[in-house]
Every structure is written in structure tokens, then in C-alpha cells.
């Protein structure tokens, strides 16, 4: 075997191992749940855990195995409809809001379906095949499943929050204590031409490409996300009762949905508590605020005398801070309170809303065929988030990663980092409004 063939064989062996590891991790995330937990759907935007298990399997069966493995026997032809998410070119789909009605197939059958597909995927990764297209699709499927691992946790959290027993996802663990955050530091970034987007080395989703140039004016960005205590100061100052802080659509949404605090926050005896994957806990005033909509993030930024960064400012600042270091060293989802750092910018605790609409980069072209529906068709009425959260799988993030949600969505681990315009010739102004008065007696 030649050196090139040996390297190709080793790469495919590594890919097969990563496939096995990711598939095992998904099932480990579901292990603390009952069969009843796995079947329920708490709202149309969420999906049952059982559906996540099946859909990620459907992805590999539909796009990798069926077109390439001669004689492959599909586990159940009905699954082509039941577990199709949004691929119109594949065919009919079961309505998303009714995924919680699928009491059948039961959980053991779904796990058997996963095992059936796992056995078949090995044939696609045999070294003798040497098919780069297959390897690329398997890589996409692995990253797709990692996205669903995060969705699994966010959907489970929302589901359990609707249960009056307030059950914990798993055995409660003690979160590492956080030190009081320093007053937010502004980091200045000089304006100029920035290279934005993935450079082609390693995996990236299609929406991270093509790499292109963007003109950025001089700006300042906060060294860390906004904390719970700082956000509590916004609430105490009447932030949810002041239309001057809100976009018109945000104010309308706030009134229609009767928002008065971030999702999962509850005030008890004058102190804030929050429902988490560990159950109901005292709110840590020093931890990053999370479960905010774009509207809430934008309103807080206005109140603080700042704004949200654009996704291009965020990426340029993070690249600057990295100084060649790795981005997003992971930790256990939902159990650790340590953060991921990149130079002088603290990142990775919470997805950070940007002011950028989710739109194609110049020159973007969706792939041909059904797989081209993965990202491009959603580039409308959504906003970009950057950074990653405690629910994001280890090793899944990149500085170019573009997450996106509708502006009213807040069941994700989404927060806010501030930015502001600055005249390059002026000194740095005063600290962020609210940073010196978190009122810890009220925020727990």
C-alpha cells in the first residue's frame, strides 16, 4: 500500500471512530431520561428526544447508505416520512408540531433502528472504497448529529421546565463557584479590512463560506458576556416596562407573550431563581445571562448605552484575541461551569446574539440536490449567533461557526455581549451602564 493509500485508510479509520463516538454520546445524553420523557414535545419549536435519535439516524440512512450500499434493506420505509425534518426534495414529512404524537415506534425500536444503520455505515467507510464524497457526507452527518445533541439538551430543558415537579435532567451536581466578574472591560479593535469565513482547512458548514473581505470600522467589544446580575439591574430599572429600549416588533412580542424576565427565571421572596438542567437553582449573579431572545439582547444593549456586535466584528475580534490558539476546548455539557477562552476574550459559555441578519456570504452557492437544503433555505428572518455554549459538544465549534435563530427564540443557551462604536482618536469612555450595580441581594 502506498503512503497516500495508507494516509487515506488512516483517515477513514479515524472518521469511523469519530462516527462511533458521536453516536454513543447521543445515546449517553438520552440515558438519564425515561421512555415517557423521550416521547414528549413541549412546544412546536422543540422535538422529542426520541425524534432526535431517529432523525439523526435517518440522515445517515437517506444520504449516505441508501444511495451507495447495494442490497441495503431499509429498517422501515415509513421512517422516510416520519423522520424527515425539512428536506422537500426527499418527499413528504410528518408535521413538525405533531412529532410528540408519535407514540409509535417506541424507544427500543428507535434504538434498534440506530443499531441497524450503524452496522451498515461501516460498509460505506471501508478503506477499499476510497470515496471522498461519502467521507464528506459522513463528516456532515457527524456534525449534524452534534447539532442535534445540543438541541436535545435545550429541548429536554424546556420539556422538564413545563413539569410542575421541576425534575432535574440528571443527578444534581454542584457547579463550580464563579468569582465576581470584573467591571466589563472594553477591548478596542482597529478598523480595516477583515477576512471573514472559513479558510477551507477542515470541516465547515456551507454557510461559513466562501471566505471574503469585509470593511470594519474601529469598534470596542466587551471582554465577556453580560452576567445575570447585570441583566437583573436592567429588570430592576424597569427594562421590561420601557418601550424606549425595545424594537417595535420586540415590544409587541414582549406584550403578546408577557415576558418580564429571561426564560426559566422566577422570583421567590425577592430573589431570582432559575430552572436549569440541574433542576431549580439559585441564580448565580456572576454567570452569563442565558435564554434571551434577540429582542431582549438588543433591548439590554440599548439600555446599557451600547449595541450588539455584528457577526463580522465578533469574528474579527475573536481571531485577534486567539493569537494562533485553539478555539473552543470543550467541557461536559450541562455539568461544568468552566468557560472556554480565546486570548483576552472570554467565550463559549453562551451563544451570543449579533446584530447581523442570517444571510448568504457573497458568492454563496447551495450544494446540488437535497443536501443543499441544509442551510441556505433558512437565510431569511433569522439572526446570527456566535460563540457556543455549555450545551455545545466538545470539538464542534470554530471561530467561523454561524448559528442562527428567529429573533423571538429564547429556549437556546443564548446571551449577549456588548459592542460600541468609537472614534479612533478618542480615549476609552466610562464602564458599561449597570456594571457597578448588579444588586446581588435581588439576583441571588
Evaluate if residue 441 carries a pLDDT over 50. no
The Cα 387–Cα 315 span in angstroms is: 9
Specify the DSSP element, H or E, that contains 193: strand 192-196
Residue 237 predicted with pLDDT over 60: yes
Residue 89 has what pLDDT? 94
**pLDDT the model gives residue 4:** 43
Residues of the domain holding 192: 186-443
Q: Report whether 319 contacts 198 (CB < 8 A).
A: no
| Side-chain-facing half-sphere of 264: CA atoms under 13 Å | 29
**Considering the domain boundaries, does residue 322 fall inside one?**
yes
- With cut-offs at 50, 70 and 90, classify the pLDDT of residue 146: very high
Q: Cβ distance 99 to 52 under 8 Å? A: no
Residue 255 and residue 338 in one domain: yes
Residue 5 has pLDDT above 60, yes or no: no
pLDDT band at 176 (very low <50, low <70, confident <90, very high): low
Quote the CA–CA distance of 311 and 317 in Å, as a whole number. Answer: 10
Do 140 and 193 share a domain, yes or no?
no
- The whole-number pLDDT of residue 425 equals 63
Q: Is the CB of residue 391 less than 8 Å from the CB of residue 361?
A: no
Task: Provide the grid cell at 326.
Answer: 485553539
* Spatial separation of the C-alpha atoms in residues 117 and 61, rounded to whole Å: 6
Assess whether 39 and 137 both reside in one domain.
Answer: yes
Give the mean model confidence (pLDDT) for residues 431-443.
46
On whether both 193 and 133 belong to a single domain, the answer is: no
Q: Are residues 48 and 148 in the same domain?
A: yes
Residue 80 and residue 10 in one domain: yes
* Strand duo 403-405 + 192-196: pairing: unpaired
Residue 180 maps to a domain: no
CA 167 to CA 280: how far, in whole Å? 8
* pLDDT (tens digit per residue) in 353-377: 999 999 999 999 999 999 999 999 9
C-alpha span between 420 and 440 (Å, rounded): 26
CA distance 295 to 1: 58
pLDDT tops 50 at residue 14:
yes
Asked if the structure places residue 338 within a domain, the reply is yes
Note whether residue 26 is domain-resident.
Answer: yes
398 shares a domain with 330 = yes
Exposure string of 27-36, with b = 16+ CB inside 10 Å and e = fewer, is: eebbeebeee
Which of 113, 145, 161 terminates a domain? The answer is 161
What pLDDT was estimated at residue 12? 63
**For the chain, what is the domain count?**
2
Last residue of a domain, one of 95, 128, 161: 161
**pLDDT over 50 at 1, yes or no:** no
- The pLDDT assigned to 321 comes to 84
Domain edge (last residue) among 95, 126, 161: 161
Q: What is the mean pLDDT of residues 57-63?
A: 97
Question: Do both 57 and 126 map to the same domain?
Answer: yes
Name the grid cell of 312: 463580522
Q: Based on the domain organization, do 276 and 134 belong to the same domain?
A: no
Chain mean pLDDT for the chain: 88
Three-state SS for 296?
Answer: helix
Q: What angle do CA 402, 406, 411 make, to 5 degrees?
A: 90
The per-residue pLDDT for 438 is 40
Alpha helices, DSSP H, located in 67-124: 79-82, 107-124
pLDDT at 291 over 50: yes
Residue 377 lies in a domain: yes
pLDDT for position 269: 92
**Cα torsion 379, 382, 383, 388: sign:** negative
Each residue of 114-131: pLDDT tens digit? 999 999 998 888 765 567
For 418-443, b where at least 16 C-beta lie within 10 A, e where not — what string? bbbebeeeeeeeeebbbbeebbeebb
Same domain as 190, residue 157: no
Taking the C-alpha atoms of residue 86 and residue 388, their distance in angstroms, rounded to an integer, is 24
Is the per-residue pLDDT at 332 higher than 80?
A: no
Same domain (yes/no): 400, 340 = yes
Domain-embedded: residue 285: yes
Same domain, 138 and 219: no
Work out whether the CA dihedral 397, 399, 404, 410 comes out positive or negative: positive
Residue 170 falls inside a structural domain: no
Q: What number of other Cβ atoms are within 10 A of residue 155's Cβ?
A: 24
Task: Please state the φ and ψ torsions of residue 279, each to the nearest 5 degrees.
Answer: 95, -165
Residue 26 pLDDT > 90: yes
Band (245; pLDDT cuts 50, 70, 90): very high
Q: Which of 38-52, 240-254, 386-400 has the lowest mean pLDDT?
A: 386-400
- Kindly indicate the confidence band of residue 395, based on its pLDDT and cuts at 50, 70 and 90: confident
Determine which of 101-105, 212-216, 276-280, 332-336 has the lowest per-residue pLDDT on average. Answer: 332-336
Region of 362 on the Ramachandran plot (φ > 0 left; ψ -120 to 50 alpha; else beta):
beta
pLDDT number for residue 75: 97
Among the ranges given (37-46, 117-126, 280-289), the one the predictor scored with the smallest mean pLDDT? 117-126
Confidence check: pLDDT of 343 > 50: no
Q: What angle do CA 22, 24, 25 make, to 5 degrees?
A: 65
Q: In whole angstroms, what is the distance from residue 211 CA to residue 35 CA? A: 45
Q: What is the CATH number of the domain that holds 139?
A: 1.20.120
pLDDT at 345 (0 to 100): 76
Quick one: CA torsion of 21, 203, 334, 405, rounded to 10 degrees?
-140
CA distance 258 to 235: 14
* pLDDT at residue number 68: 87
The three cell numbers locating residue 34 = 425515561
Residue 134 resides in a domain:
yes
Mean pLDDT of 227-231: 97
Looking up residue 268, the CATH number of its domain turns out to be 3.90.1580.10
Confidence class of residue 347 from pLDDT cuts 50, 70 and 90?
confident
Assigned C-alpha cell, 200: 477551507
The pLDDT confidence band at residue 182, using thresholds 50, 70 and 90, is low
**CA 296 to CA 254: how far, in whole Å?**
9
pLDDT band at 133 (very low <50, low <70, confident <90, very high): confident
* Calpha distance 409→423 (Å, rounded): 34
Q: What is the DSSP letter of 241?
A: G
For cell 442535534, the residue is 148
- b/e sequence 313-346, b meaning 16+ C-beta within 10 Å: bbbbbbbbbbeeeebbebeebbbebebbbbbebb
Amino acid at each position: 500500500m502506498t503512503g497516500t493509500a495508507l494516509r487515506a485508510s488512516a483517515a477513514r479509520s479515524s472518521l469511523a471512530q469519530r462516527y462511533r463516538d458521536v453516536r454513543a454520546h447521543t445515546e449517553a445524553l438520552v440515558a438519564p431520561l425515561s421512555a415517557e420523557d423521550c416521547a414528549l414535545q413541549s412546544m412546536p419549536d422543540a422535538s422529542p428526544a426520541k425524534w432526535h435519535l431517529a432523525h439523526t439516524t435517518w440522515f445517515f440512512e437517506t444520504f449516505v447508505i441508501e444511495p451507495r450500499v447495494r442490497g441495503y434493506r431499509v429498517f422501515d420505509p415509513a421512517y422516510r416520512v416520519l423522520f424527515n425534518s425539512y428536506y422537500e426534495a426527499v418527499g413528504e414529512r410528518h408535521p413538525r408540531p405533531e412529532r410528540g404524537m408519535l407514540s409509535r415506534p417506541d424507544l427500543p425500536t428507535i434504538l434498534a433502528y440506530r443499531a441497524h444503520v450503524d452496522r451498515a455505515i461501516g460498509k460505506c467507510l471501508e478503506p477499499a472504497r476510497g470515496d471522498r464524497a461519502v467521507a464528506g457526507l459522513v463528516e456532515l452527518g457527524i456534525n449534524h448529529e452534534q447539532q442535534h445533541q445540543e438541541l436535545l439538551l435545550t429541548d429536554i430543558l424546556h420539556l422538564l421546565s413545563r413539569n410542575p415537579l421541576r425534575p432535574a435532567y440528571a443527578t444534581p451536581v454542584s457547579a463550580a463557584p464563579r468569582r465576581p466578574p470584573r467591571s466589563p472591560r472594553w477591548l478596542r479593535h482597529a478598523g480595516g479590512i477583515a477576512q471573514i469565513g472559513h479558510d477551507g482547512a477542515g470541516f465547515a458548514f456551507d454557510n461559513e463560506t466562501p471566505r471574503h473581505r469585509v470593511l470594519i470600522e474601529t469598534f470596542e467589544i466587551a471582554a465577556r458576556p453580560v452576567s445575570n446580575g447585570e441583566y437583573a439591574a436592567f429588570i430592576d430599572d424597569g427594562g421590561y416596562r420601557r418601550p424606549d429600549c425595545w424594537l417595535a416588533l420586540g415590544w409587541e412580542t414582549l406584550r403578546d407573550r408577557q415576558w418580564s424576565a429571561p426564560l426559566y427565571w422566577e422570583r421567590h421572596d425577592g430573589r431570582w431563581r432559575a430552572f436549569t438542567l440541574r433542576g431549580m437553582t439559585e441564580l448565580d449573579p456572576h454567570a452569563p445571562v442565558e435564554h434571551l431572545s434577540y429582542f431582549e439582547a438588543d433591548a439590554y444593549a440599548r439600555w446599557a448605552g451600547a449595541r450588539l456586535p455584528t457577526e463580522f466584528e465578533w469574528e474579527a475580534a475573536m481571531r485577534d484575541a486567539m493569537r494562533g490558539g485553539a478555539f473552543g476546548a470543550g467541557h461536559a455539557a450541562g455539568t461544568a461551569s468552566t468557560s472556554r477562552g480565546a486570548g483576552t476574550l472570554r467565550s463559549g459559555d453562551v451563544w451570543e446574539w449579533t446584530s447581523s441578519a442570517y444571510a448568504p456570504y457573497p458568492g454563496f452557492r447551495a450544494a446540488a440536490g437535497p443536501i443543499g437544503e441544509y442551510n441556505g433555505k433558512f437565510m431569511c428572518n433569522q439572526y446570527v449567533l456566535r460563540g457556543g455554549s455549555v450545551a455545545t459538544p466538545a470539538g464542534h465549534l470554530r471561530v467561523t461557526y454561524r448559528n442562527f435563530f428567529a429573533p423571538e427564540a429564547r429556549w437556546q443557551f443564548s446571551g449577549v455581549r456588548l459592542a460600541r462604536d468609537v472614534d479612533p482618536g478618542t480615549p476609552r469612555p466610562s464602564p458599561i451602564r449597570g456594571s457597578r450595580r448588579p444588586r446581588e441581594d435581588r439576583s441571588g
